[in-house]
Structure 1
Amino acid sequence: MSAAAPPTAAVDTEEVDREKRKAIRRAIGAGSIGNFVEQFDYGLYGFMAPVLAPAFFPDSDPAAAVLSTYAIIAIACLFRPAGGTLVGRWGDRVGRKKTLLWTIVFMGVTTALIGALPTYQQIGIFAPLCLLLLRVVQGMVSGGEYVGAVAFIVEWAEPRRRAYYASYASNSCFVGILAGAGTAALTSWLFEGPALDSWGWRIPFLLALPLSGVGIWLRRRIDETPEFVRATKDGTQVVKAPIRDALRTQWRPILAYCGVSVMLAILSYSWVTFYPEYLTGTLGLPRWMALTSNAISVAVLIPLLPLAGILSDRIGRKPMLIMGAVACIVLVPLAFRVGEEATFGTAVASQLIYIIPEFFLTGIVTVCTAELFATRTRFSAGAIAYNSSFSIFMGITPFVAALLVSSFDTIYAVWVYLAAAALLALVVVSAFMTETYRSQLGADKFAR
């Protein structure tokens, strides 16, 4: 008969477990706050586009002004790969924590500066140029923020619960978008007419400063990830040229990730940014109804994402991605058909249908941002993959969707755009993507 463990040993183990859980919760908060700030700004900008358009562009052609406002997002996102790769290099060389401290500072300052810009009526063409410059800086910094935050959370997480913990990184994005939508709706209600157009729109952007201050406080309180510390403690895993190493050794998982994430980018940003404007501008639904219906659907999705993470931790990443791709093809046209009735109820119903593929895809693509790549180049490889696919299509999708509807006079052109990406994802997941849900974080992955 074996001797029972001393009571003090049991107490010590419980204390260690308690401290570990506290550290993981702090890591989730520290990693997620940057995603929240980024998506708060992105959602706010997208929802306020009709108000920003006459402030930064000539008001002679309102439709062209709105398209130009969306085009600035698209152009800025083209700079995300360069910025994300640079930030990723720092993250693999100096650590996740230090890098993420700087990214949230830059994001908060640039977002707040948008709220202080002079308008087209005040400085002419320099107004949209200044707006574009700030969006480019934001895009470059944000290109590394999300990838670094996901790596930070996943490297702190328990091995068999990585998708569950990563779901909170996804949720922080949707909470940020929801906050952006709510702030846009509240601002539009409080400052109607000339007050909103002249100065009321500035207030939400200025809120980014205190939000980034909270992020700095959270990130200063958490240690570097145990995974990164283990990989670099003797210096052997610190790569002098992580970008080159990532492209040389991780190109297969990079391509696999790109093939999957384009689908999610088109799905998500045709929903949260373009669809409310379509409900208002094309179907004639009052703006508050369009924004409120979108906010309801986002609020419903938020508690579902941790459940999706738990499910994926049990059955794997690939089954979830396959079900999500099929749902994109089958359910999105149904959602558009329901929404065409142009009532508040059908607007809500259409978007509740729309979030079914989001359930299967969002958190899973998120955790794959970290799981597919080895620790020594995780930040760099993830940044290259994420920004070469998701970030670019995230930025261009509202513009492309608006252009498709304008050109073909039907929203089903947007579905064809999404369905093509979903078919590509089905091929990539089925034939080339490695299952990662039981893999070791530090190991190299290869598509097979």
Structure 2
Amino acid sequence: MRRAIGAGSIGNFVEQFDYGLYGYMAPIMAPAFFPESDRTVAVLSTYAIIAVACLFRPLGGTLVGRWGDRVGRKKTLLWTIVAMGVATALIAALPTYQQIGIGAPALLLLLRVVQGSVSGGEYVGAVAFIVEWAEPNRRAYYTSYASNSCFVGTLAGAGTAALTSWLFEGEALDSYGWRLPFLLAIPFSLVGVWLRRHIEETPEFVRATNEGTDVVKAPIREALRSQWRPILVFCGISIMLAILSYTWVTFYPQYLTDTLGLPRWMALTSNAISIAVLIPMLPLAGILSDRIGRKPMLVTGAIACIVLVPVAFMVGEHGTFGTAVASQLIYLVPEFFLTGIVTVCAAELFTTRTRFSASAIAYNSSFSIFMGTTPFVATLLVSTFGTIFAVWAYLAVGALLALAVVSAFMTETYRSQLGADKFARQAVPDHSRRAGGVR
């Protein structure tokens, strides 16, 4: 199980290291790829590249999901980490706008599209890989490590960006210093290749496909035909988490610097501290959810989004390092109840034979799109309305949608049979065997 967690999580780490690093370095990278005449437009354009690239994630994720359901989880995840690592590392070698003009942002967009397309299947594939190895009554606990790998990657991206900003100053940072951290994707990806080559295919996939010979011939069509209800349910609950998380890890540090005047290294450090605090909390959230279920956690998290996020923003408005840390620690409450639980739902809601395809469609139709657009939308909202509470209103809409979906349409999935259709009949929790297996 430890090997399965490591092999599944390493790709999430590489993906989020890249997104965290890009998000934190975007204001520094912006003059290299866009005209310097208007700094706000340049920063917005750099963020917009993430948003545009994320629009390709549904297509890329769906294709990756199809391969995952046909050739297996292991083979698919092996090459996705290679593609992600290469696309990230090549950013370090791109020419600037001053050198080739419009070709510079075009090449950056191309690499982000490749990275985003592959990442669209990486995360859900890794979650499926871990869940299909896990004991039925510990699935949320084990998949909490997949969520943690994302935050560890984001933390590594934040720490690397902060260290780079400290080591390189002025012209050195603007000309070449920002490029160096992207090269770290190469050794990270090599570790991932080694881990994934030295573990077997998941027992659940082998069992569900009769030793790999009875795979679904058209998993995308089958997923859309038979799994459309859980796909819509997952979309309804995951939009909230996408807005919540990517307001916090990509937009908020920049807001602390540009709007509240906090030095960049303080903003990044405060964000890194809050991420470091959340990491050991997520396994505890998984343990709690394995005891009480998924729906109570999701409802509590949605309410916390509506009630506590504006409190966090009010505290942060004081503009000191201490209040920046305090505001983000308050922000962790809804993250605690939502992050790992939405992750495990990405696998539990779908049947084994089409899990990769169905979860890729659901994840990329909601989470990925809002993940990529949130920094841009949040920056635009603050610029338009002059207050960060406009961002909270945006999040509150997502939270209300999630509350409605969970309350009216979601079937409880914890301890249910992993391969069963949760929407064909009511899932029956298995209390007869606490250590694993299904009746």
TM-score (norm 2): 0.96
1:297 paired with 2:274, answer yes
Structure 2 counterparts to residues 131-280 of structure 1, below 5 A? 131-233=108-210, 237-280=214-257
Distance 2:226 2:330 in 1: 40
1:58 paired with 2:4, answer no
1:128 to 102, 105, 110: 105
Amino acid at match of 2:272: A
CA deviation vs aligned residue, 1:89-120 (integer Å, no higher than 9, x gap): 00000000000001000000000000110111
Amino acid at match of 2:115: Q
Off by >2 Å, runs of 4+ in structure 1: 233-237
Structure 2 counterparts to residues 45-444 of structure 1, below 5 A? 45-233=22-210, 237-444=214-421
Distance 2:364 2:269 in 1: 30
Between Structure 1 and Structure 2, how many residues are aligned?
Answer: 425
CA deviation vs aligned residue, 1:115-156 (integer Å, no higher than 9, x gap): 110111111110000000000011100000000000000000
The worse-fitting range, judged by mean Cα deviation, of 363-372 and 436-445 is 436-445
Which residue number in structure 2 is paired with residue 16 of structure 1?
Answer: none
Which residue number in structure 2 is paired with residue 13 of structure 1?
Answer: none
Structure 1 residue 233, shift from structure 2 partner: 2.2
Distance 2:286 2:92 in 1: 37
Amino acid at match of 2:69: D
Q: SS in structure 2 opposite 1:207?
A: helix
Structure 1 residue 446, shift from structure 2 partner: 1.2
8 Å Cα contact 2:205/2:212 also seen in 1: no
Q: SS in structure 1 opposite 2:280?
A: helix
8 Å Cα contact 1:116/1:202 also seen in 2: yes
Which residue number in structure 2 is paired with residue 11 of structure 1?
Answer: none
Distance 1:236 1:195 in 2: 56
Amino acid at match of 2:238: S
The alpha-carbon distance between structure 1 residues 235 and 280, as it changes in their structure 2 partners (threshold 3 A), is closer
Structure 1 residue 290, shift from structure 2 partner: 0.3
Q: SS in structure 2 opposite 1:436?
A: coil
Q: SS in structure 2 opposite 1:252?
A: helix
CA deviation vs aligned residue, 1:257-297 (integer Å, no higher than 9, x gap): 00000000000000000000000000100001100000000
CA deviation vs aligned residue, 1:35-66 (integer Å, no higher than 9, x gap): 00000000000000111100110000001000
Q: Could you list the runs of 5+ residues in structure 1 that have no partner in the other structure?
A: 1-23
Structure 2 counterparts to residues 28-39 of structure 1, below 5 A? 28-39=5-16
Distance 1:444 1:238 in 2: 17
Name which one, 1 or 2, has greater alpha-carbon Rg.
1
Amino acid at match of 1:122: Q
Structure 1 residue 438, shift from structure 2 partner: 1.5
Distance 1:355 1:137 in 2: 32
Q: SS in structure 1 opposite 2:127?
A: helix
8 Å Cα contact 1:250/1:445 also seen in 2: no
Distance 1:355 1:234 in 2: 43
Q: SS in structure 2 opposite 1:313?
A: helix
Structure 1 residue 255, shift from structure 2 partner: 0.2
CA deviation vs aligned residue, 1:280-333 (integer Å, no higher than 9, x gap): 000100001100000000000000000000000000000000000000000000
Distance 2:294 2:420 in 1: 17
Q: Could you list the runs of 5+ residues in structure 2 that have no partner in the other structure?
A: 427-439
8 Å Cα contact 2:208/2:352 also seen in 1: yes
CA deviation vs aligned residue, 1:169-196 (integer Å, no higher than 9, x gap): 0000000000000000000100111011
CA deviation vs aligned residue, 1:7-35 (integer Å, no higher than 9, x gap): xxxxxxxxxxxxxxxxx100000000000
Structure 1 residue 235, shift from structure 2 partner: 5.5
Amino acid at match of 2:169: E
Distance 2:56 2:42 in 1: 22
8 Å Cα contact 1:237/1:376 also seen in 2: no
Amino acid at match of 2:138: R
Distance 2:115 2:307 in 1: 35
Structure 1 residue 444, shift from structure 2 partner: 1.1
Amino acid at match of 1:385: A
Amino acid at match of 1:267: L
Q: SS in structure 2 opposite 1:103?
A: helix
8 Å Cα contact 2:274/2:329 also seen in 1: yes
Which residue number in structure 1 is paired with residue 17 of structure 2?
Answer: 40
Identity of aligned residues (%): 85
Distance 1:120 1:37 in 2: 27
Structure 1 residue 236, shift from structure 2 partner: 6.7
8 Å Cα contact 1:84/1:143 also seen in 2: yes
Distance 1:368 1:75 in 2: 26
